[in-house]
Structure 1
């Protein structure tokens, strides 16, 4: 636990951490996917995502106030459900949703980098570049915490400033028009279901606020500042997302946004700024992917190491030397590489959304059922968060069952296997764990 220093993060530092993780490479890949499901007014979908995220954040804020812990979500689940199958499985869902996001970031890196050379995004170079980025993230993560913090802080500032410049510049070129994207007649029809489903993808853009809860014990005056940092981070991210979405919407038709959905921001830079704008956007995307993936890999490996130390997940050294976190770092990178090779951006984002929303609902239910009095939570807000998650997840699953059944089947089977595997592991490990607890 020597990595955690009490009162080492100010309110501004916590906001910087939250926005640095939130305003990451995911937005580069997700804008086009949100437009595909949400239609011409897709920028407004980010407002809906921000509202749902705001309700969700309430549970995490209340938990952080009562249990400020570097254990983050894993610790919250233990407080709600104890050290059982549900806790371990939900924590793994969170960890895997973060690893899935890493593969999303890795492929985004490959897709945007190739725009500089006008190479098609279906090229084998996309996963190859993604694997290169994951390898780089691994090397940075084994170089030490101080370097990671300094590197990600500087790069996050550059990234957010660059995106703001791009968004405002794009709107300026379009005369600050906030009209809906024009349609050329080939865009898919949108329904209430597809619009609600698109909210699931915007939630992925905001879920980085959980990084702040993971740093609860390190933030100055956590009972006051964790909640403030989360709210401020979500609002800053929402403003940046809205500006970016409107900039894309005013410079490209809906058909073109959907056609170029994996690199919509780069495509929007062409009519607005020409080749110079394209280079600028791609460089910002590369910076965002590098910083986002380094921070994410560090967070996941730390969370998995904590779950391992709590004897909630199995661990095997495979002959590797060093601490457990180094081992979980290797597992994280390898799993992200496999996803980067075998899944495209749409499917990676879909899996991440499904796993995250299921985990989020488990957290809300735990707060409502077991902890609402202890953490002084408003039952109405917690239940509203649960219902909103359920509506968004239901609509998203309905749309994906119709359009891409494979990703739903893979996600559901994956979730079932996690629960079965954890149940088997904990049953077999129970006698040893009881002995360890008793000794402790």
Structure 2
């Protein structure tokens, strides 16, 4: 393609930038909307749900850290599997991750839109969200819901930013993530100082109807809140000193996220109580903030407003992170010849995987029309499956290349990857059973994407063979003419 070339992207991101990519993706809208839902299922044990999900996630994070130090290539889990497993297996891994990141992008854009409308309403710039109408498109007699327009606009904005500058997108991620973490820490500080928290009650820990079993479905529901540290490995070649900084960024982002989650959930349950939090549902954190935070703060009108403000920044940082990740997976696949070659090229002027970003943006923008719950379920399913494969890749690489340079090695090997495989498989089975009963469309679309991937793989293989035969024929003709 004119204006693009095959080379590695420039290393412009530092340890802080890489860590913020992980935190930006993990501390998304999930902590704001899922806490109340988890309390509805597990009661006060919602706190244990987030702690246990952090433990489950940590096992796979160890595998990502070792593989990133041994195989410093962009593309995340796909790059690792490409190095270790066969051609078709690595293609399916990349195909799943690419889809999961793109669908997650649509999900975050959909989460941004209502929160942004609510924020505008807080400052009397638009009517209440339920009263907001459609936006008329110029030149055509069609009205687009304002929320859908905002979601689409957010995708276009961050795709454009990423297309022209990796450094700029990394800086935006750092600034936005720092802002939303500050907002959550303000929430925690006011909550702990509140008289409501001094009488906090966390007993009985488990609901009487279901007991400790309630923790499992609640873990499946909230697992998506811990997906994000893996995004760091998709930009490995764009991080300075990646063999050391990528593992560090994984651990920093995951540890900081778990601490923030535990603090927020503790305050939410300690102020509203598990029953009050459950009744509030997706608005649980906002209702808790409204209950104990003071009114009349500078710029921020009340506690509910500051949480809406935080939710806007959370969804934007998560969206930016998956725009980065999805395009880097597509770029890695194109560079390896598993997508069209132009997808694996770097733009000569911007130094970004321009074509990969635009291709990913098309699917991401289209996915905003999917039901929010189905998008989240599909994304979680593919992430869980990819985590199982990544843990298996660590074991296979250790067996086949024991003397490979590994600046970071998993402690107590092989226990962590084996636990990662087992626990992620359990959550996968729980999620599949849940989808069969409640969201068969998500399961059907997931299987359809895998089927489309198989067709694309063999079609691209035939295309490459045909191009190779054509090139060989042309070379033979030229040689004959020279003779």
TM-score w.r.t. length of structure 2: 0.77
Count of residue pairs brought into register by the alignment = 428
Q: Deviations over 1:302-353 (max 9, x none)?
A: 3212212322125799xxx999943333332332233322312x32221111
2:360 maps to which of 318, 332, 336: 332
Deviation, structure 1 residue 369:
3.4
Aligned counterparts of 1:383 and 1:436: Cα–Cα separation in 2: 47
Which residue of structure 2 lines up, in the alignment, with residue 348 of structure 1? 375
Report if aligned partners of 1:69, 1:75 keep a CA contact under 8 Å in 2.
Answer: yes
Decide which structure has the larger Cα Rg and report it.
2
Q: Deviations over 1:174-201 (max 9, x none)?
A: 3256534999xxx996566652233234
Which residue of structure 2 lines up, in the alignment, with residue 144 of structure 1? 165
Which residue of structure 1 lines up, in the alignment, with residue 230 of structure 2? 210
Aligned counterparts of 1:151 and 1:247: Cα–Cα separation in 2: 29
2:444 maps to which of 386, 399, 409: 409
Q: Which runs of 5+ in 1 are unaligned?
A: none
Which residue of structure 2 lines up, in the alignment, with residue 179 of structure 1? 201
Which residue of structure 1 lines up, in the alignment, with residue 85 of structure 2? 81
Alpha-carbon RMSD across the aligned residues, in angstroms, is 3.5
Q: 1:400 to 1:36 in 2, by over 3 A?
A: farther
Which residue of structure 1 lines up, in the alignment, with residue 100 of structure 2? 97
Q: Deviations over 1:142-194 (max 9, x none)?
A: 342232222222222112111211233234323256534999xxx99656665
1:421 maps to which of 455, 463, 467: 455
The residue correspondences of 1:11-160 to structure 2 (distance < 5 A) are 11-82=15-86, 84-116=87-119, 117=121, 118-120=128-130, 124-160=145-181
Q: Deviations over 1:223-251 (max 9, x none)?
A: 44433332222111001111222233234
Aligned counterparts of 1:119 and 1:189: Cα–Cα separation in 2: 36
Correspondence 1:161 to 2:182 = yes
Report if aligned partners of 1:80, 1:371 keep a CA contact under 8 Å in 2.
Answer: no
Q: 1:409 to 1:121 in 2, by over 3 A?
A: farther
Aligned counterparts of 2:452 and 2:39: Cα–Cα separation in 1: 33
Report if aligned partners of 1:201, 1:349 keep a CA contact under 8 Å in 2.
Answer: no
Report if aligned partners of 2:101, 2:326 keep a CA contact under 8 Å in 1.
Answer: yes
SS at match of 1:137: helix
Q: Which runs of 5+ in 2 are unaligned?
A: 1-6, 122-127, 134-144, 296-300, 476-483
